[in-house]
């Protein structure tokens, strides 16, 4: 029985870690990741050099002019997709921060209500220290009086943002490398 309980505990810990670190299992990250991946797949269809200009043979000058136009179009398309990808990631981060902000605000509100309703209980229990508000938290729109637990959950989300940004950057670089190899 003891061995079975240990195995169940290890399995649940591993499951929790996987769920926390897999972006495809988290709703906002899932949407943003697959939208970004679709944009990158569409972007890989571009080429810097296009030698198939129909059945007509071109002179060197016309070929050179056609390639300059093609490269300009490809550059504009990559910049457009890049801007859309950045907006996609910003939207994802803002949605996650909004949910976290709402949750923290709700918890602080509930704590204040509990203190007002049960003043004797709040004197007997150990209160969590509330740290003074910094400009960073204020700029992000978080309420004053966040506890260590609230700041800790914000740090966890910021770490997820960094890992998500690494993943998105990797997908973007992979798409760009595919464009270059397809062009060559």
Q: Give yes or no for a contact between 38 and 88, defined as CB atoms under 8 angstroms apart.
A: no
Give tens-digit pLDDT for 82-135. 999 999 999 999 999 999 999 998 888 888 888 888 876 554 444 555 555 567
**DSSP secondary structure of 83-115:** HHHHHHHHHHHHHHHHHHHHHHHHHHHHHHHHH
pLDDT range class, residue 14, cuts 50, 70, 90 = confident
**Global confidence as pTM:** 0.73
In the chain, domain spans:
77-119+129-179
Mean pLDDT of 23-32: 80
Give tens-digit pLDDT for 153-164. 889 888 888 989
- Burial class of residue 25 in the structure, from the number of CB atoms within 10 Å of its CB (0-12 exposed, 13-18 middle, 19+ buried): exposed
């Amino acid at each position: 029985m003891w061995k079975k309980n240990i195995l169940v505990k290890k399995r649940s810990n591993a499951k929790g870690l996987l769920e926390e670190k897999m972006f495809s299992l988290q709703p906002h990250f899932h949407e943003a990741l697959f939208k970004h991946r679709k944009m990158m797949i569409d972007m890989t269809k571009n080429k810097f050099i296009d030698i198939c200009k129909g059945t007509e043979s071109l002179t060197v000058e016309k070929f050179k002019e056609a390639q300059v136009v093609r490269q300009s179009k490809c550059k504009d398309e990559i910049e457009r997709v890049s801007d859309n990808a950045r907006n996609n990631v910003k939207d994802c981060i803002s949605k996650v921060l909004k949910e976290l902000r709402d949750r923290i605000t709700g918890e602080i509100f509930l704590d204040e209500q509990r203190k007002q309703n049960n003043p004797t209980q709040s004197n007997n229990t150990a209160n969590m220290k509330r740290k003074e508000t910094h400009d960073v938290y204020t700029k992000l729109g978080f309420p004053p009086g966040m506890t260590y637990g609230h700041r800790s959950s914000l740090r966890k989300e910021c770490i997820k943002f960094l890992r998500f940004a690494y993943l998105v950057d990797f997908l973007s670089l992979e798409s760009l490398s595919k464009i270059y190899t397809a062009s060559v």
